[in-house]
A and B are shown apart, each in its own frame.
Chain A
Amino acid sequence: MPPEVNTTFGTTADLETRDMLLNVGPAHPAMHGIIRILAKLDGERIHEADVEIGYLHRGFEKMSETVDYNGVIPYTDRLNYVSPLINNMGYCMAVEKLLGIAVPERCHYVRVIVAEISRISDHLTCIGASAMELGAFTVFLYMIKAREYLWELVERVTGARMTVSYCRVGGVKGDLPDDFAEPCRKAFQETRKVLGEVDGLLTRNRIFADRMNGTGVISAEDAISYGITGPFLRATGVDYDVRKDCPYAVYDRLPFDVPVGTRGDNMDRYLVRMEEMEQSMRIVERALRDIPHGPVQVNPGTGRAIPAAEMVDLAKVGNIVAIADGSALACPTLEGSNRAAHESIATHDKRVFLPPKEDTYGNIEGLMQQFKLVMFGHGVRPPRGEVYFPVEGANGELGFYVVSDGSGSPYRVRVRPPCFAIMSALAKILAGDLIADMVPTFGSVNMIGGELDR
């Protein structure tokens, strides 16, 4: 309550005041996706807020129980659709843990590289969108431009920009393209340029700083008790990062720093995200340097390279002799992998991963292996059990809890969506702030409807 002021009409205590209810959303431009916030206002100040979610519920967990293990991967793309590769990776690693299989080192590196590229694109989207809502439309355009360079990289590797479905249980769909380091270097150069420009436009910009500093504050204790992880937590000064504290894949071999804030406000979250993008680029650059050697071209003396599509045609008419000593010329983004790539990007466990194309078309064992994995009711069959596997998503800890009953489809798949925890704390964070602060605070949550409502 403001202090009592004497006016000609008496004191403010004499005035009748009522809280006003303001309904923001579900279809409101500032509520990225669909969220409803019912705010109880006293003037411009939010007394209480009620956050309502669930408008984008598609039944991910229910659907996962009806398809086979690899069939869940396209659904995971649609959880956090800005960084689908991290979801792919988390789900596949959870199932691999359940199966008890290890993947080759190169596969780990490939997954880390694409996951970090995704993380940058996620942070770019978050900062770009929330800056736009504060009036900085230029920043949004710059950041989307940078994201486009990164998505071109993703497209080069996976064949798609958003719904990539790149990882498989036991490996990845195809190897990195031959000349990946060069476009990657160029894309990072452009991204760094954009980040420099955005830093110049925003960080010391009075208008931006005034809206970000001291708004949306949450303390470290509160953040932990609400289960908040990721950049939102690190802005409060807690340096919990799954990549550092429970390392998976090859993160323990790659040098990177975990940026932390001190005040836990919107400005700190912005700064943490800006620095994390730089650290992610550092990880990718180091990983591209350290990645074990990829496939060597098949010896041209012994194996002719035949395009996989032609190989299928030859095999269909039973002309096995023509392809017996050939090697598949497979486009990794569309057709899968040839033998040379297969060795280094996928597990050698025949129960889990599709054979190289030469084997599928060329010999009966390969054909059977392929059929045993793709036919309905067959496929990957982990033993009975339950596992939880956390990875560091762009918004925080992304955990997959998978229960298997030994059949071909998961018994239960549970996702721990990082922004669910943040959204549950949102009402508390908003209370006491001005109504205009709702916009940067909600923007810094980086709410992704796909993973929040599943």
Chain B
Amino acid sequence: MNPLIESVRQCFPDAVAASHTYRGDATVVLRRGSLLEVARFLKEDPAFQMNYLMDLTAVDYSTFGKRPAPAFFPSSGVSVRPSPQIPDEDPWPGPPGCSRFVVVYHFYSVAHKHRLRLVVPVEEANAEVDSLSSLWPAANWLEREVWDMFGIAFRGHPNLKRILMYDGFEGHPLRKDYPVKKRQPLIGPSN
């Protein structure tokens, strides 16, 4: 068992829904309500000192495992034992049951040189999580990007608006139900 996961579990027994170390990446699946509290702990606790919020993104799991099967031989991707050079203690638990989205946080500590991934499942009906921009200014733009691409809102974000797409853009392009070939012409600036 990974010591990082173990101590998050000990400090927040109610917050942790699941955990795994698939391919050596320590991952904790959190319940949504305790994100801010756990994130603050990870940043401030001397055993963690996660001073970097390296990445913040989301995944839309709505078509996971439902994509059309390839032409003839759906089983050609045989899974064999991984190379001994790549750690593999845990199987991957799979996508989060009924939640459509997950928000994924990657933390890194310069002092301890360890990484931790937090995964927060989010339902489509109430797609909102707490903003981490008060703890890491890096979250500001990254959360704007997740809002732009997935339509997941961040509670307490100072300036939650689109970042890569333009203001009049309709929909959230990285959602799986957004068609790849859909076009939205941008007709002149409004002013």
A→B interface (CB under 8 Å): 53-54, 57, 59, 61-63, 65-66, 96-102, 222, 224-227, 229, 238, 240, 245-246, 351, 372, 375-378, 380-388, 390, 397, 399, 401, 403, 405-408, 411-412, 414, 416, 420-421, 423-425, 428, 453-454
Contact = CB atoms under 8 A, between A and B. Distances in A.
27 contacts: A63-B180, A65-B180, A100-B23, A100-B88, A101-B82, A224-B110, A225-B51, A225-B136, A225-B138, A226-B137, A372-B76, A375-B71, A376-B71, A377-B70, A378-B70, A383-B79, A387-B22, A388-B55, A399-B54, A401-B104, A407-B67, A411-B59, A416-B54, A420-B142, A424-B137, A425-B137, A428-B137
Interface string B113-155: 1010100000000000000000011101110000001000000
A352 to B, nearest CB: 10
A378 B73 contact: yes
Given A57-B165, A406-B65, A385 B55 contact: no
Interface residues of B, number: 56
Interface string B34-57: 000000000000000001111101
Contacts of B54: 227, 390, 397, 399, 416
B38 to A, nearest CB: 18
Consensus secondary structure, chain B interface: loop
A224 B51 contact: yes
A380 B77 CA distance: 7
Interface in B60-105: 60, 64-65, 67, 69-73, 76-86, 88, 92, 94, 104
Given A224-B51, A227-B54, A386-B92, A406 B77 contact: yes
Contacts of B173: 59, 62
Contacts of A225: 51, 136-138
The 10 closest A-B pairs by CB, nearest first: A100-B82, A381-B77, A377-B70, A227-B138, A102-B83, A424-B141, A54-B164, A385-B92, A377-B71, A416-B55
Contacts of B166: 54
B164 A62 contact: no
Given A61-B174, A425-B137, A385 B22 contact: yes
